[in-house]
Amino acid sequence: MSAGATARVFAPLARMRTLSREKADTLLLLASCTLVLVPHLLRLPAWIVPACTLLLAARAWLTFSGRRMPSRWLLVTLAVLAMAGVYGSYRTLFGRDAGVAMLTLLLTFKLLEMHAKRDLFVALFLSLFLILAGFFYSQSIGSALLTVAAVVLILTTLVSFQYTGAVPPFRKRLRLGATILGLAAPLTLVLFLLFPRVQGPLWGLPADAHSGRTGMSDTMSPGNISRLAQSDEIAFRVRFEQKPPAQRQLYWRGIVLGAFDGRTWREMPASSRDPELSVRPNGKPLRYQVTLEPHNRHWLFLLETPAALPSVSSRVTHDLQLLSLAPVRERLRYDAASYTDARVQDDVDPRQLRRWLQLPGGANPRALAFAAELRGRHPQPEMQVANVLRYFRAEKFQYTLEPPPLGRHVIDEFLFDTRAGFCEHYSGSFVFLMRALGVPARVVTGYQGGEINPADGFMTVRQSDAHAWAEVWLEQSGWVRVDPTAAVAPDRVQRNLSSVIPRQAFGGLITLDPDRNPFAAQWLRLRHQWEAIGNGWNQWVLNYTPERQLDLVRALGFSNVDWRTLLALMMVLGSAAVAAVVLPLLLRQKKRDPLEIIYVRFCALMARRGIPRAPYEGPRAYAARLAAADSPLPPEKRAALARFLEVYEAMRYGAAATSGSPVPHLSQLKSLLAECR
């Protein structure tokens, strides 16, 4: 590259170094607001992103060019149109999403309407409020780190606007902003640990605050689990007290579906004729702890078969579903125990299970004819189950995340035409055939498998582990799990989904298969470490519940802990934290020269009278300018001004300054200052 081309490339940077103080501070403000806005842009309607980008670019152009701000009427018109756009996108101006969209637009509009320092504070306070709104969507450690960076930059901006003389370099101002935030850390830690906690938020959240959660659905139709399985989000984490069971035993039971309309499976409503739930375990229960991510539903996921209710407010249904009494809208941790070998309802009358034989009329005639043929060969239910599984193995069925679409008779078309599907296709068609054969059957959805994170020892279960299987009722055995997917893709159950369908990243550009891609092993190792850090954040920060707070206070030696104890302890430790920060600052503070204090007061007095001292002026030059100034002051006041500066100059630079005893002159200087007033 030639010297001329290099100069043209770096010319903008050179111009930025020579910007005026006001322009440089304004650009720093724009950078702070941009950092605040970036995390929200991906959650907003598509039109808001270019709108905010255009407004920010316009503000930067006005700053560089030195042009005037747009008229207030133009801004009001644009703001009204923007609010209309928000209403058109959300059909409301209230709620989480609409509120965040309006805050985003208001912040960008406010940057075009800055005429005084008060407007600066409004823009910065809007930025802080928008940072808090980001926690409606994510409270991960990544979000927390981005919040810290944004707050530091906002404090740096605020500090930059406060300088009246020479401005320190940006690096020094940035360090000062970080120091201010660091000084608040001890008191923040005390408040976090000891401020009395209550269950749930202190105020009502918007109605849409919990929307957009990824997770299982209460229905199952072709394609919905395969779409969920393409998500790599974490569903829950598990910590076992002993060695985890084998991969093929990791069936995390969730929703039981029994009502079928020909295409979609739904939950079977409870009936007074349902048999009582009975469980006969074999062996000791397996104990573990689950940290469940919020999914805005009532389901709790446990290994088959639960030994007791988990350690949260919950209930069990007639079909062995575990349900929380309240929707899971926050990260939930509970202790659980399960039997890996148990008989469920093995002693009920088969007539009580007729509801699990219902099929829609006029649907899937070929499947019904196939079931009738199988019943003629083997009337025993156990043999019928084996024959259907043998059919799946023998025919050329394909396990895929992208099955072809199905028409009206979904079971017929899958079994005899496409023969390609995901777990919902196999479990749904298997249950249909079992019912057609006269065997009570139902679909169970949840998760299968899990991956031990070597960084922290927790088992991670992802949305990609979503799975559907079947349960059939056999005499003397009760409800027995049957997974028809294992007949087609046994590695899916014995290992995991990625062993059958490799994971991909960056939109499918990279295959995360360590056997095929050497980069994948490094990528997975880094992901394990990052997820372990995130899990620690979840366990110790986000899951700091009232119970854990009470345990902490009891560990400090307090008993019978109530809110009064917490407040008293918080006041004591909070005061100690403030003292630990403030006292060193006071001790390190330089004592101000009393002579300088009087001189600063004099200069402030003259500035209020319209004759401020220039930064480069000494006492003698300032006295000469005051004497020559056209001022309505009477002669005695002018004489007092001249005498004040003469005495100050003698004390600061004359013999009095070197004698070490300027005290006698201070009283005279104070008297002259009083005369000047």
Annotated catalytic sites, by residue?
423, 467, 483
Do residues 463 and 231 make contact, with C-beta atoms less than 8 angstroms apart?
A: yes
Cα(135)–Cα(145) distance, integer angstroms: 12
Neighbours of 629 (CB within 10 A): 14
Residue 645 near residue 599 (C-beta atoms within 8 A): no
CB atoms within 10 A of CB 573: 18
DSSP annotation of 270 reads P
The DSSP annotation for 374-438 comes to: HHHH--SHHHHHHHHHHHHHHTT-EE-SSPPP--S-HHHHIIIII-EE-HHHHHHHHHHHHHHTT
User: What residues form DSSP beta bridges with 287?
Assistant: 337
Q: Quick one: how far is CA 120 from the chain centroid?
A: 28
DSSP β-bridge partners for residue 239: 289
Q: Is residue 611 classed exposed, middle or buried when 0-12, 13-18 and 19+ CB atoms within 10 A define those classes?
A: middle
In sequence order, what are the beta bridge partners of 220? 265
319-324 long-range contacts, CB within 8 A, separation 24+: 319/256, 319/258, 319/268, 319/442, 320/253, 320/256, 320/277, 320/344, 320/479, 321/253, 321/254, 321/255, 321/256, 322/253, 323/298, 323/299, 324/298, 324/299, 324/300
Other CB atoms closer than 10 Å to residue 284's CB: what's the count?
Answer: 11
